[in-house]
Amino acid sequence: MDRTDTDLIIAGGGLAGATLALALAREVPTLRVTVVETFPLSPEALPADYQPSYDARSTALAWGSRLIFDALGLWPELSRHATPIRHIHVSDRGRFGATRLHARDHHQDALGYVADNRWMGLCLMRALQDTSVRWRAPAEVLDMMPGESGVEVTIREQGEQQILTGQCLVVADGGRSGLREKLGFVTHTERYGQNALIANVTTSESHRFTAYERFTDSGPMALLPHDAPGEPGHQSALVWTLNDEALAEILALSDEGRCQRLQDRFGWRLGRFTRIGECHHYPLALTTVDAPVRSGVALVGNAAHALHPVAGQGFNLALRGLMTLVEQFRNAHEQGRSIGELSVLGAYEQHHRQDWQQTVRFSDSLIRVFGQSLPVVAAARDAGLVGLDMIPGAKRWFARQAMGTGGRKPVLSSSNRSGRKAVPNGQQNG
Ligand SMILES: Cc1cc2nc3c(=O)[nH]c(=O)nc-3n(C[C@H](O)[C@H](O)[C@H](O)COP(=O)(O)OP(=O)(O)OC[C@H]3O[C@@H](n4cnc5c(N)ncnc54)[C@H](O)[C@@H]3O)c2cc1C
């Protein structure tokens, strides 16, 4: 069997794996990085040019994530197809409580952005083309043997099994991570008994760069401003939480029927829903691990924590974790230590833990508190929303969560031949 030596093996080249590879290429360019990805997606095999479509999935990027992409030199390109969120409006259907956040109150241009996943992937691949990161795709990680002295990974590429050896393996194979199970990490999965229905919608009124988080008796929904060519200002990305029965009902309806049902649930803040695109749906669960590291191996992205999407926190949390890991890898590499040492990976866990626990609590409690229709809970919810709107400290805390700027900031070196900035420490948020 062929054997290839490298320093770091990343299993999975999705948003998390590809971003980690790029960050390492910027921050620790002498580290040899190999990404193994099942799909034939790689910097050498770029998909056809970006064509935004009506069924494209999108991600809400918090302000903190924009700062990270800025530091990686990716933001100027990424921002070409990212719609700013200047206002967030949180409300409860049929009740009076509501809270509003405005970017200007935090002295910023936006609270966050909405970007097409496909566009983000393309920008990452283009940026990776100019780096030394090695890409093995289509190829699959079959088996792994991590330990203090290094890691041995078996992959299958073009029908042939091969061995990769390195100091460390990062598992970035997504929420249903088969590799995490294979490695025996202790995982907790709690099913919400709900599904997220995702679609792009067009409305008669402009979104005015407002993200709506609306809690209804059948579950929360989010409408995020998501501009598309030809319909600037009138397209939003919908994330609608529904139980199995309600989902089946909606899927059985015509597009017109779906718009009507959405109108009933959401109301008229965006005028009339005139069009709904292709609908995708996903069962919702909260998946966490007790500890995301062992000697020679670390979990990142959805493999480490998969959250409910309505609060738009999953990838933002993943990004902050990735930068913390990069910081630890850089420190170890500069000190001539192995990046797979448990003390190096343990420092990543220690620095990321508070952020991930807080973010999991935040998005989980949004669902538990706002997903209930009991009158007493609804009244408390109204009080909470009104309180959030009126108490500056509470509102600032909520804004920090939404903007992804509440936790510890990893210190990245300003790789700054091109004048890029490092992720700032102690970013002020008003
Ligand atoms: C409906 C929905 C809406 C969301 N909206 C938001 C949002 O608005 N904001 C936000 O921050 N987050 C959001 N998220 C979360 C966000 O999408 C995820 O955090 C992000 O996609 C995670 O990326 P990942 O790279 O960890 O996993 P994935 O994107 O699943 O990538 C895993 C990769 O690993 C590869 N792979 C798997 N097994 C192997 C193997 N054995 N060998 C090699 N490669 C392998 C796969 O091919 C894939 O490319 C949302 C999630 C969902 C489900």
Return the HEC string of 6-33. Answer: CCEEEECCCHHHHHHHHHHHHHCCCCCE
pLDDT, tens digit (0-9, with 9 covering 90-100), for 10-50: 999 999 999 999 999 999 999 999 999 998 877 777 766 66
Q: What is the pLDDT of residue 108?
A: 86
Q: What is the pLDDT of residue 3?
A: 94
Burial class (CB in 10 A: 0-12, 13-18, 19+), 75: buried
What are the structural domains of the chain? 2-189+285-418 (3.50.50.60)
Ligand 1 neighbourhood includes 157 CB (under 6 angstroms): no
Ligand 1 neighbourhood includes 173 CB (under 6 angstroms): yes
State whether residue 388 is helix, strand or coil: helix
Say which amino acid occupies 391.
I
Q: Are 56 and 116 in contact (CB under 8 A)?
A: yes
Sequence-distant (≥ 6) Cβ neighbours of residue 365 within 8 angstroms:
none
pLDDT, tens digit (0-9, with 9 covering 90-100), for 41-94: 777 777 666 665 566 678 989 988 999 999 999 999 999 989 999 998 888 766
Runs of H (alpha helix) within 199-341: 244-252, 255-266, 314-334
User: Mutate which of 116, 156, 173 to test ligand 1's pocket (most atoms within 8 Å of Cβ)?
Assistant: 173
User: Mutate which of 281, 305, 315 to test ligand 1's pocket (most atoms within 8 Å of Cβ)?
Assistant: 315
Q: What is the pLDDT of residue 401?
A: 65
**Residue of minimum CA distance from atom 52 in ligand 1:** 309
Q: How far is the C-alpha of 409 from the C-alpha of 411, rounded, in Å?
A: 6
User: Mutate which of 114, 154, 302, 313 to test ligand 1's pocket (most atoms within 8 Å of Cβ)?
Assistant: 302
pLDDT, tens digit (0-9, with 9 covering 90-100), for 406-426: 666 666 664 443 444 444 333
pLDDT level of residue 344 (50, 70, 90 thresholds): very high
Ligand 1 neighbourhood includes 20 CB (under 6 angstroms): no
